[in-house]
Amino acid sequence: MPPSKEMSAHIRDNIAEIRQRISQAAQRSGRKSSDISLMAVTKTQPADKIIAAYEAGIRLFGENRVQEFAGKRESLSALKDAVFTLIGQLQSNKVNKAIELFSAIHSVDSLRLAERINIAVERAGTEPLPVAIEINIGDPAKAGISPNSPELEQLLDAAPHLPHLRIKGLMAIPPFTPDPEGARPYFRRLRELRDSIAARRLPEIGMELLSMGMSHDFEVAIEEASTCVRVGTAIFGERQK
């Protein structure tokens, strides 16, 4: 079902406001807004809202669950140049389905998962899959590799042996704080980790992607060098149950 005129107008206005805020945050930090991607997070959102966001100019979408997205993918088949990225935790038994559905995976949180994705892409015979390493920057309830974990080094060292992956950078979700400024130290920590990895010029490791910042705190994330903000509620309203 196509989106209603009211829904389309509401989502279009929200996106325009977010883009303006992105531009202002970029200007404050001496950056170009064109260097920052806006990813619309569509967890629990129905197809008509996703279509409305696409019609308002969004091309990058993030989904959290493989099975949920599988149920609405057919309804979105007309969105030919939309890029759907998995940003939620990926279970090993859903890897094959994930690489069939998504153009990228930004939630690689272990060497074992990276190896499984690499094998699945090889078997599928498709192009190497862009991925991001999910880093846990301070919330024990969240997924991700600790910045100080030996596994992070193991994953970075393994990159040349994972030819069907393209490691593009890092992703993280900070602990929630009522004041968006509370997220700044966590964003800064992720940026510093990204910079330190990039400076090493490791083989087959790209660090151009720094995915951090959501509806509540994306402006602070941009000031701390985010290249991709993941915005759901500020575009679509509260998630549907």
pLDDT at res. 240: 62
User: Token digits for 189?
Assistant: 């920590």
Mean pLDDT of all residues in 145-165:
96
Give the per-residue pLDDT at 241: 56
Take residue 85 and report the two structure tokens written for it: 């990225």
Residue 141 has pLDDT above 90, yes or no: no
Q: For residue 138, what pLDDT is reported?
A: 86
Asked if residue 166 has pLDDT above 60, the reply is yes
pLDDT tens for 195-241 read 999 999 999 999 999 999 999 999 999 999 999 999 999 999 876 65
Contacts of 149 (CB under 8 A, 6+ apart): none
Report residue 151's pLDDT band, with 50, 70 and 90 as the boundaries: very high
Q: What is 11-58 written as a DSSP string?
A: HHHHHHHHHHHHHHHHHHTT--GGGSEEEEE-TT--HHHHHHHHHTT-
Q: What are the structural domains of the chain?
A: 5-236 (3.20.20.10)
Whether 190 shows a pLDDT value over 80: the answer reads yes
| More confident site: 216 or 142 | 216
Mean pLDDT (the chain) is 96
Tens digits of per-residue pLDDT, 11-44? 999 999 999 999 999 999 999 999 999 999 999 9
What DSSP line would sit under 96-116, residue for residue?
Answer: HHHHHH-SEEEEE-SHHHHHH
pLDDT tens track for 45-80: 999 999 999 999 999 999 999 999 999 999 999 999
Distance between terminal CA atoms of the chain? 20
pLDDT number for residue 139 = 78
Three-state DSSP class for residue 176: coil
Read off the pLDDT of each residue in 107-115 and give the average, rounded to a whole number.
Answer: 97
